[in-house]
Structure 1
Amino acid sequence: MGGTLVVSRAVNNHSFYKKQLETLGFPNVRVTSLDRDGLSALIYDMKPDLLIMGARFYQCSTPYMMRGMRRDFPKLNMAALSIGEYPADLAMYFILNGVRSYANAFDDIDEFYKGLDDIRDGKEFVPETVQERIDARTEYPAGARLLTRITTEVLRCICNGFSKEEIADNLAISPRTVENHRNELYRSLNVRNMAGLLAAALDIGIITRDELVFRHRNFMCTPLAEKEK
């Protein structure tokens, strides 16, 4: 069937998104708010050439959820879009988790439309600010080399307030495996509690203050730096 599948929670805007993307030349646009198993079933049925997901569709864990989709649909071209403020320190995790393109209308509307053109044409698009952040993380400080890639991801999730069950779901591992990685973190970083893990992660550069998120009661996530203003 092919075409473009757009995933957005903003149900009232679905027809608007469809019209705008079709005007820009995206073929056979379909917009849905289905998630998890429902979304996977739709992808199997529709077989889209391109999946576009709202950056905050799964709140804080959207990059990790898209990594799971990359695993399930390795040939699917995926892009993430944001029309609101979304820090580059968080956006880089889309690319690190296998998403080919990311564009943000809030930062630069002209760049956003250029990104849409590249995405439509099957090219990769990453804003310069996001690429700079990715390049800056190509090598971690010495302390981080003690950790495996998956243990590092567990540490980032812990620092951002995810529960054991949420980490397991986001990283496609079991809760027991999460516990094992957490215990390994305690030993490797020589700390005894969650506060120590956060301090160590900041100290060795695995995570920065701008990457930390704060969970409100409505489960919306905003950068900690914004909360402190």
Structure 2
Amino acid sequence: MTKKTIQLGLVDDHNLFREGIKSLLDKIEEVTLVLEAVNGKDMFTKLNNVVPDVILLDLEMEEMNGVDATLKLQELFPEVKILILTMHKEERMISYLMEIGANGYLLKDTTREELEKAIKTVYKSGFYFNEFVSQALLKGLKNKSGRPLKIGKDYHLTARELEVLELIAQEFTTAEMAEKLFLSARTIEGHRKNLISKLGVKNTAGLLIKAIKEKLIVV
């Protein structure tokens, strides 16, 4: 059976950088560039015609920057996966973008191999944390108060939901979780949606950040 091609959007106001990314994308199988925009405003105009699965989004742009674009994408197109691609390395910025709805964060000096991995992982799993981003998030989100590990009662999580949360943190796919827990994929997705709702986050990436912050999982 032929694998589904990942529909990709690219939003950046530097022409040379976009051309460089496009040349890299030409070498990545199962990824098709369907939208190209120079800023957030341009992107939303083009989203009237095509909605990608994943959008590579720069932060510093005129006519709607990446932060504002992320917030609006979450409001209008919550199903779209947002992969931030920027030179900004600030831990607070990384944490903030992930909390408001970004699904992954890459620096612009990334390799073609990591770009490919990030696009395919965020499409498949709903989030992508590389080593740099993981360390930045942990530094910013780990609670240093020393309070004991919670067991989910503050959020009324069931034992099964906590089990699914742990597996999500271990990067299990829906299919892998279903097989491991002897459940259907639909049931696993139901647990994921319940977790997102109970913790008051926007997506799987936000779910993991909140779980770390609230010490619902051990990292």
TM-score (norm 1): 0.48
In the superposition, relative to structure 1, how do residues 38 and 60 fare at CA in structure 2: closer, same or farther (>3 Å)?
Answer: closer
Correspondence 1:12 to 2:16: yes
Find the counterpart in structure 1 of residue 133 from structure 2.
Answer: 130
1:56 alignment partner, SS class: coil
Task: State how far apart, in whole Å, the 1-side matches of 2:124 and 2:14 are.
Answer: 25
1:44 alignment partner, SS class: coil
CA contact (8 A) 2:53 2:80 kept: yes
Ranked by relative contact order (alpha carbons within 8 Å, sequence separation 6 or more), the top structure is: 2
CA contact (8 A) 2:104 2:129 kept: yes
Deviations 1:107-137 (A, max 9, x none): 7886555434524655521233433443443
In the superposition, relative to structure 1, how do residues 37 and 112 fare at CA in structure 2: closer, same or farther (>3 Å)?
Answer: closer
Find the counterpart in structure 2 of residue 170 from structure 1.
Answer: none
TM-score (norm 2): 0.50
Q: How does 1:19-98 map to 2 (within 5 A)?
A: 19-25=23-29, 27-30=31-34, 32-57=36-61, 62-82=66-86, 84=87, 86-98=89-101
| Alignment coverage as a number of residue pairs | 140
Quote the offset at 1:93 in angstroms.
Answer: 1.9
Task: State how far apart, in whole Å, the 2-side matches of 1:78 and 1:14 are.
Answer: 17
Structure 2: gaps (5+ residues)? 146-219
1:130 alignment partner, SS class: helix
Q: How does 1:44-193 map to 2 (within 5 A)?
A: 44-57=48-61, 62-82=66-86, 84=87, 86-106=89-109, 114-119=117-122, 121=124, 123-135=126-138, 136-137=140-141, 139=143
Find the counterpart in structure 1 of residue 7 from structure 2.
Answer: 3
1:52 alignment partner, SS class: strand
In the superposition, relative to structure 1, how do residues 65 and 13 fare at CA in structure 2: closer, same or farther (>3 Å)?
Answer: closer
Task: State how far apart, in whole Å, the 1-side matches of 2:69 and 2:112 are.
Answer: 26
Aligned alpha-carbon RMSD (Å): 3.5
Structure 1: gaps (5+ residues)? 142-229
